[in-house]
Chains A and B, each alone.
Chain A
Amino acid sequence: MTNGWTDVANADVVLVMGGNPAENHPVGFRFVMQARLQRKAKLVCVDPRFSRTAAVSDCYVPIRSGTDIAFLGGLIHYALSTGKFQREYVRQHTNASFLIREGFGFEDGHFSGWDEAKDNYHRDTWQYEVDGQGYAKIDPTLEHPRSVFQLMKKHYARYTPEKVSEICGCTVDEFRKAAEMVTIAAAEDKSGTVLYALGWTQHSHAVQLIHAAAMFQLLMGNIGMPGGGVNAQRGHANIQGSTDMGAWNMLPGYLKIPRAHWATLDDYLKANTPGKLRPDSLNYWGNTPKFMVSLLKAYYGERATRANGFGYEWLPKAGEADNHGWGFFFDRMYAGKMDGLISFGMNPVANGPNTAKMIAALSRLKWLIVAENFETETAAFWKAKPLAGQYYPAAADPAAIPTEVFLLPASCFAEKDGAFVNSSRWLQWKEAALDPPGDALRDQEIIARLFLKIRELYEKEGGKGAASLLNMSWNYATPGLPSLREVAREVNGRDLTTGKQLNGFGELKDDGSTSCGNWIYSGSWTEAGNQMARRGQEDPTGLGLYPEWSWSWPANRRILYNRASVDREGKPWDASRAPVRWDGARWVGDTIDFKSDAAPGDFSAFIMLPEGVAKFFTPDLVEGPFPEHYEPAESPVENPLHPRVSFNPLGKVFTSDRDALGTSKDYPYVGITYRLTEHFHYWTKHTAGSSQLQSNFFVEVPDELAREKKIKSGDRVRVTSARGKVEGPALVTKRIRPLTVNGKTVYQVGLPIHWGFAGRVSGPLINNLTPSVYDPNSGTPEYKGFLVNLEKA
């Protein structure tokens, strides 16, 4: 989240799209209700089905799954064409005024630079026009035909309310009503928040979708404002922490992973340290060398010296174009190119797309280690045939699977201390409530003991890439069971000259005199102690920022980009709720997202970006500088905007013999997957309480479709896709309305996800149906909006 849960109470309008917080974030949803009671906030809910959030909304708009960019593009067009946007904010704080090179354009589904033969873009026309010093040229009047503002206007001119209706399937009036409601935030003294979750991230164009939301929020002048922002609701207690710590194809603190063509530290730093694009840009990522060198010092301790590039060369490196994202490594595993997998807190058989492929892939490993609280589907994958053979006709007999499986009993969250990082970026320290039962060990003990044993083997026997392990520093009081307090202090970082804990990342050095396990967490455990354990409830700004409650990254800042809540001169857009204020010498209020003693005019507001301002137009995303509506890989219609380029030209579709895509001829309905409030992912089917609240898998069938097929609630139905099938009772409902898309009636079939073949209650895994299709920027699978058929079983 750019803002935070408590801040949602400051909103005047809440747009929920690609998420269902009433259902999946009920505790956070209290702040939506507070906004409603205190500020008379309006709640707008855009969702394929009438969800529990829709049930308490002021305005509900149904859309076809996978058409969110069309809807947001429509909002952008609506704002620009009616003048309902915050012009001064856009002029001062965004790249709307930047000029783009000659030759940039968009035609028939492709941006300029498309290379048919390479199936990729040349991005040279997607760049700013620069002056002699390499700075982007700007036109503050926003009138230049090659200004980002004019290009954006032109790009979205196609997204009229009628077009939105034609693509999304809502009516023009429904779209207009929502657009009117959410654009009240264009006023300087009004803010709107956007809450989203996996309904946005699980598409083959997901990152662009969130880019579109950011664009809309910039037009409204909502970024940096209390009650504004683009707010991802994270689903697992610590998924934010795992992203921050680089568990996903990144190094900690969002540093890029080393690649083979960056052989030395200098190569790496040169390629990954941006230069300024405007003279008044602070360009904070210019500090990348400090972050990276301090990280290497945390990894390799005294062995990391300037002479050996602080150990950079020991780090394992990916090939230039390698992708180690989820879908990619499972595809390699399926191709028999992997020996083993260690799975912690993850259940790939249940949560990966195309379950049959997941099971087949694991069957080709030599070994699999699963550290878990329960015997999950992943640990039990070899029993898929006896346990759920009706869904996996091609699964091998247990006796024929060579994979050796180790199920290590691991402690659960309540049996460990450490910090959870919530959606608000708060690191909240917790204490262990009880000891792990029986033989269960804490995860850090499992990891440490594996590490020590493997290192011992490398010491004795040598082997490829041994240097990284042999040089690793491991200075814990009990090497086989590092305390999480020690780890947290190490992550915060210390001054190696004085031995003192650092106060924050401002103190990091690139000369090897500081170490820091994650620069964005620096400041979480200072000499003053564990900041994450703080529970102060003071609220000096009156905005519900609670600066003394836990610790928020970065620098305990509660609202990211808060410098943009005031104009260039420092005057707040809305004086009644300014989170920060320049008092003539320094900034007060929330930790300023700026240099704390720099006068307002010294730099532009977005210090993390080389431009110094927020971006409508970005060359960084692979499929184009502006978000464009592309259909899901499986869609009931051709893209009404450009039928010849219907799907994202860079969307990743796997094509193994287990990966198939269907067409609407065989699979006429859109499958939508979602979570229910009663369950948490695939875990709580192991617990008694949640299993009672939703004991049965079911398929939600639109009333009209049910009538056509003579299906009644409770009848057993079969849902099939080109990958597999699920079976269960039908829940016939009017909450999933048939939509008219491009003149055609489209039905969507609702598929809640929580069941599987392991647990107290069982049912089919919904991912039997989903395709191995991925977003090219994030590598997240397209779990939403695929094609299915439905029949009475």
Chain B
Amino acid sequence: MQTVAKLIDTTLCIGCKACELACQEWNDQEFTLGVFQGTYQTMPDLAHNFWNLIKFNERETAGGMSWLMTKYQCMHCADPGCLRACPAPGAIVQLRNGIVDFNHDHCIGCGYCITGCPFDVPRLSPATKKVYKCSLCSDRTAVGLSPACIKTCPTNCLTFGARDELLRKAESRAEQLRADGHAQAGVYNPQGVGGTNVLYVLKDATEPEAHGLPKDPTIPLSVALWKGPLKWLGTLTLVGGILGTFFHYVRFGPRTYEGQEK
């Protein structure tokens, strides 16, 4: 099974937000009202029912005005902090194609994954008390369709496919940009989480923060330890009803789900 990925060429994104709507529509999320905070951004942040956010970052640079529009969502890390942190077996799974997916039947709403995520992506729903995030449209990709955001993107700034191929494509686009005078152009594929299945082409890869992307994301120390001997401490704080979980963990440790290819 090939690892899949999404490539976001930020130099082609026009901030049209079509992907925001497509994401909500496909995932049956009810529309709400946007929150005005003095920018063009729809919401201040991701939400349990809003998994795909275009961040608008405006600033003056030496070369003139810069208004960066960057798609933000789950990065589908190779080494997912959320999965490491999750105490509920089967609640977070990593499919063989690399997609990190949540299985809400198993989610216990502890919110540990939120702490574990170096990109601050998962969100707890106050209504269902479960945690939600982008699934890279695992239900679409399972039947050979591309994720909803990719299907809708008008500029082809988003592409979906085999990770190796997209990584090559990203590198060659970065090279083109460098040849075009953008000396710092590069690919965002942070190694602190083992690389991500969401790849970005940035005009200036030395400054991902300008796009609202963390510079050197790593799994928080507490979560890294959580994987080690301290894990049982935290687990003990959970209510009795999930003791089964605890025992499961003690026996098998956190695991990567190798289950069905849907």
Contacts and interface: CB of A to CB of B under 8 A. Distances in A.
Nearest to A737: B65
A56 B36 contact: no
Interface in A703-737: 713-714, 729-735, 737
Given A30-B154, A692-B34, A695-B34, A677 B39 contact: no
B17 to A, nearest CB: 5
B216 interface: no
Given A33-B156, A693-B42, A714-B37, A26 B65 contact: no
A122 interface: no
Interface string B189-223: 00000000000000000000000000000000000
A99 interface: no
Contacts of B67: 50, 52, 54-55, 735
A596 interface: no
Interface stretch (B25-33, B143-151, B239-247): B25-33
A55 B20 contact: no
Contacts of B69: 52, 55
Contact of B12 (A40, A56, A691, A734): A56
Interface string A41-71: 0000000001011111000100000000000
A30 B21 contact: no
Contact of A54 (B24, B32, B65, B176): B65
A713 to B, nearest CB: 3
A243 interface: no
Nearest to B21: A689
Nearest to B30: A688
Nearest to B67: A55
Contacts of A56: 11-14
A55 B15 contact: yes
A23 interface: yes
Contacts of B64: 60
Contacts of A54: 65, 67
A41 to B, nearest CB: 11
A26 B154 contact: yes
B14 A731 contact: no
Nearest to A677: B16
B39 A695 contact: no
A765 interface: no
B60 interface: yes
A694 interface: yes
A714 B36 contact: yes
B130 to A, nearest CB: 23
A29 B180 contact: no
Contacts of B12: 33, 56
A726 to B, nearest CB: 15
Interface in B50-82: 58-60, 64-69
Nearest to A715: B38
B14 A27 contact: no
Contact of A29 (B11, B20, B34, B154): B154
A194 interface: no
B17 A677 contact: yes
Contacts of B59: 734
B3 interface: no
Nearest to A55: B67
B58 A688 contact: no
A33 B155 contact: yes
A714 B154 CA distance: 31
A633 interface: no
A695 B33 contact: yes
Contacts of A170: none
Contacts of A734: 58-60, 65
Contacts of B95: none
A705 to B, nearest CB: 15
Given A52-B14, A688-B31, A714-B37, A693 B20 contact: yes
Nearest to B17: A693
Interface in A635-678: 676-678
Interface size class of B (residues with CB under 8 A): 35 or more
Interface string A680-709: 000000001101111110100000000000
A732 B15 contact: no
Contacts of B13: 56
A733 B40 CA distance: 11
A22 interface: yes
B18 interface: yes
Contacts of B66: 55
Contacts of A688: 31
B33 A29 contact: no
A689 B24 contact: yes
Contact of B38 (A29, A60, A732): A732
A713 B58 contact: no
A761 interface: yes
A733 B58 contact: yes
A26 B156 contact: no
A689 B25 CA distance: 9
Contacts of B24: 689
A30 B20 CA distance: 18
Contacts of A735: 58, 65, 67
B59 to A, nearest CB: 8
B25 A731 contact: no
B14 A694 contact: no
B14 A29 contact: yes
A714 B38 contact: yes
A238 to B, nearest CB: 20
A731 B155 contact: no
A694 B157 CA distance: 22
Nearest to A51: B67
Nearest to B157: A33
A21 to B, nearest CB: 9
A40 B180 contact: yes
A732 B18 CA distance: 25
Contacts of B37: 713-714
Contact of B14 (A23, A678, A713, A714): A23
A713 B36 CA distance: 10
Contacts of B68: 55
B36 A729 contact: yes
A729 B34 CA distance: 14
Contacts of A60: 64-65
Nearest to B181: A58
Given A692-B32, A733-B58, A737-B65, 18 more contacts: A23-B16, A27-B154, A40-B180, A50-B67, A54-B67, A55-B67, A55-B68, A55-B69, A689-B24, A691-B31, A691-B33, A692-B33, A695-B35, A698-B36, A713-B37, A714-B36, A734-B59, A734-B60
23 contacts: A23-B16, A50-B67, A52-B14, A52-B15, A52-B16, A52-B67, A54-B65, A55-B15, A55-B68, A677-B15, A678-B17, A688-B31, A689-B25, A692-B32, A693-B17, A694-B34, A694-B42, A696-B36, A698-B36, A713-B38, A729-B38, A734-B60, A761-B33
